[in-house]
Amino acid sequence: MSEHALDHLIKILSSLPNLGPRSARRVALHIIQNKETLMRPLAHTLLDAADTIQSCLVCGNLDTQSPCHICEDYKRNESVLCIVASVSDVWAIERTGHYKGHYHVLGGVLSAIDGIAPKDLNLDRLKIRIQNQDFEEIIIALSATVDGQTTAHYITDLLSDLNLTITGLARGIPMGGELDFLDEGTIGTAFKSRKNVE
Ligand SMILES: [Zn+2]
């Protein structure tokens, strides 16, 4: 491995979330020292994932197929739709095992600071989906951050003329809490004690 390739590897690794240059160097060294057992399998897995993983055209989840396995699962409750900001939230909620409805992934939340406007989110498809399918309940499961709550209000307004039951996660979600960082028990409790959104 040339010095240049090593620098390149560290640079790419340090662009990963929660990995600064120092930890990136440590990870790079670990990968290099385990070339056959880790480095090559990792490279193959990444290439394979890059070729096969796609965004579900129905809900925005990531899967090797579109519609994704959750959208195609006939055993799930078709009358409940849970709106989340990101795929990591789908994973977090699935880990609880409490929720058996469908999802809609927005791909972020509205943010004045980050310049994320309604057109940047997966909202058009959300409205079409809700208009074309008889959902009995829409759960808005967004983080208890200012941006998350702003987005929740925006969606509630957007759907207000459709005469739906819209609920939000309740008790258990701390203010400023990102769903992805909460434990399964907390998310599960918040789901069970969800309440109607005004
Ligand atoms: Zn899907």
**Secondary structure of 72-96 in the HEC alphabet?**
HCCCCCCCEEEEECCHHHHHHHHHH
One-letter amino acid of 55: S
From the CA of 15, how far away is ligand 1's center (Å)?
28
The CATH number assigned to the domain holding 37 equals: 1.10.8.420
The answer on 27 and 120 residing in a single domain is: no
% of the chain at pLDDT higher than 70: 94
From the CA of 23, how far away is ligand 1's center (Å)?
35
Fill in the DSSP letter of residue 38: I
* pLDDT for residue 176: 64
The answer on 183 and 105 residing in a single domain is: yes
* pLDDT for residue 132: 92
pLDDT digits (tens, 9 = 90+) for 121-171: 999 999 999 999 999 999 999 988 889 989 999 999 999 888 889 998 775
* pLDDT for residue 144: 81
Which alpha helices (DSSP H) does the chain contain, by range? 3-14, 21-33, 40-52, 69-72, 87-96, 123-132, 146-158, 184-192
The CATH number assigned to the domain holding 138 equals: 3.40.1360.10
**Cβ-count burial of 20 within 10 angstroms (0-12 exposed, 13-18 middle, 19+ buried)?**
exposed
**Contact predicate 105/141, CB 8 Å:** no
* Residue linked to tokens 């399964």: 184
Inside any domain, residue 57: no
Determine the structural domain holding residue 36 and report its residue range. 3-52
From the CA of 57, how far away is ligand 1's center (Å)?
7
From the CA of 33, how far away is ligand 1's center (Å)?
39
- What average pLDDT does the structure give for the chain? 90
From the CA of 12, how far away is ligand 1's center (Å)?
30
From the CA of 83, how far away is ligand 1's center (Å)?
12
Residue 21 pLDDT > 90, yes or no? no
**Contact predicate 147/109, CB 8 Å:** yes
* pLDDT for residue 129: 94
From the CA of 143, how far away is ligand 1's center (Å)?
21
Which has the closest alpha carbon to 139: 101, 111, 187, 112? 101
Domain count for the chain:
2
